[in-house]
């Protein structure tokens, strides 16, 4: 049997899947995230470098923790994309998808026939190294892996309906940073221009019976996204958590040193 997706299990039950984000090679991060109640980790390979062996190892640590790994790759080369799935990633989040034609090409790359045209191996981690049920493997892989296209520009928003209509595109991922940069506004979900983006994406996803989600910049952002019907939300990154933790420890050091605590004689 191949592993089933925790994110998809939540969404299929009408619940919100919880994701956090990672941009570093931290083997312990998936276990901590799973213990904290997260369903998946969004790993950013677009802006952060990972070599192929690091990808294999980090995805393997996600399997050990039984938590989804959703990888954002820096490439759209066909074999490079489905190799990440063969390494065991639960899904791919593709940045800056601008047109339905681009989304269709991605479906062809990462979904098996009859949905797409992905190459078949069947001897890697995603197929439990050949013990995943033989002929059932391609169909189960199509069902339990995710292809999410990022809607990050006004042009992509205009194409979002056509992209969501495609079989094999499992959901839409709103990228608030790039979208807000192009709209000239704050990336906060409650900002009127961004709120309009989210409402439009939510309506498109509902029309095509697809799910959608986005990073949340705050608890308030997350509340807004939940009210609008997001199927998954990203909240918490290793960078932010490390920064907050070290800033807190630094402030505690400042307090202790300001009090002029002296060692005992």
Domain ranges of the chain: 6-240
Quick: pLDDT tens for 33-58: 999 999 999 999 999 999 999 999 99
d(CA 76, CA 99): 14
* HEC readout, 39-88: CEEEEECCCCCCCHHHHHHHHHHHHHHCCEEEEECCCCCHHHHHHHHHCC
Q: Is the pLDDT confidence value at 262 over 80?
A: no
pLDDT digits (tens, 9 = 90+) for 88-132: 999 999 999 999 999 999 999 999 999 999 999 989 999 999 887
Split at pLDDT 50, 70, 90, the class of 234 is very high
Tokens of 66: 């039984």
Q: Six-digit token pair at 253?
A: 């050091």
So what's the pLDDT on residue 1?
61
Positions marked catalytic? 47
Confidence of residue 258 (pLDDT cuts 50, 70, 90): confident
Assign 3-class secondary structure to the chain. Answer: CCCCCHHHHHHHCCCCEEEEEECCCCCCHHHHHHHCCCCEEEEECCCCCCCHHHHHHHHHHHHHHCCEEEEECCCCCHHHHHHHHHCCCCEEEECCCCCHHHHHHHHHHHCCCCCCCCCCCCCCHHHHHHCCCHHHHHHHHHHHCEEEEEECCHHHHHHHHHHHCCCCCCEEEECHHHHHHHHCCCCCCCCHHHHHHHHHHHHHHHHCCCEEEEECCCHHHHHHHHHCCCCEEEEEEHHHHHHHHHHHHHHHHHHHHHCCCCCCC
Percentage above 70 pLDDT, the chain: 97
pLDDT confidence tier of residue 260, bands split at 50, 70 and 90: low
Q: Is the pTM of this model over 0.95?
A: no
d(CA 218, CA 112): 37
Calculate what percentage of the chain has a pLDDT beyond 90.
90
Residue 264 in this model has a pLDDT that exceeds 80: no
With cut-offs at 50, 70 and 90, classify the pLDDT of residue 265: low
Q: Read off the tokens for 159.
A: 């194409």
Structural class in CATH, domain 6-240: alpha beta
Average pLDDT value for residue range 196-212:
98
Average pLDDT, the chain: 95
Give exposure, 36-45, as e/b (b: 16+ Cβ within 10 Å): eebbbbbbbb
Residues 1-39: pLDDT tens digits? 678 999 999 999 999 999 999 999 999 999 999 999 999
pLDDT surpassing 70 at residue 202 = yes
């Amino acid at each position: 049997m191949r592993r089933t997706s925790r994110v998809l299990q939540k969404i299929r039950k009408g619940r919100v899947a919880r994701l956090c984000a990672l941009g570093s090679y931290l083997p312990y991060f998936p276990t901590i995230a799973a213990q904290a109640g997260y369903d998946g980790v969004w790993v950013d390979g677009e802006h952060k470098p990972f070599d192929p062996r690091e990808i294999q190892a980090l995805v393997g640590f996600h399997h050990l923790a039984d938590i989804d790994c959703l990888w954002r790759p820096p490439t759209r080369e066909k074999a490079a994309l489905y190799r990440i799935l063969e390494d065991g990633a639960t899904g791919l989040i593709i940045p800056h998808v601008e047109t339905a034609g681009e989304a269709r090409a991605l479906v062809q790359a990462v979904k098996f026939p009859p949905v797409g045209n992905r190459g078949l191996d069947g001897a890697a981690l995603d197929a439990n190294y050949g013990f995943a049920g033989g002929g059932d493997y391609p169909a189960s892989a199509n069902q339990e892996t995710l292809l999410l296209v990022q809607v990050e520009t006004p042009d992509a928003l205009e194409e979002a309906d056509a992209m969501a209509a495609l079989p094999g595109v499992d959901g839409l991922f709103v990228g608030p940073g790039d979208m807000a940069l192009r709209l000239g506004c704050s990336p906060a979900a409650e900002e009127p221009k961004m709120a309009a983006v989210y409402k439009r994406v939510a309506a498109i996803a509902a029309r095509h019976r697809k799910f959608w989600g986005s990073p949340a910049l705050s608890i308030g952002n997350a509340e807004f996204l939940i009210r609008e019907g997001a199927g998954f939300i990203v909240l918490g990154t290793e960078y932010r958590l490390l920064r907050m933790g070290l800033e807190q420890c630094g402030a505690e050091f400042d307090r202790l040193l300001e009090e002029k605590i002296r060692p005992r004689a």
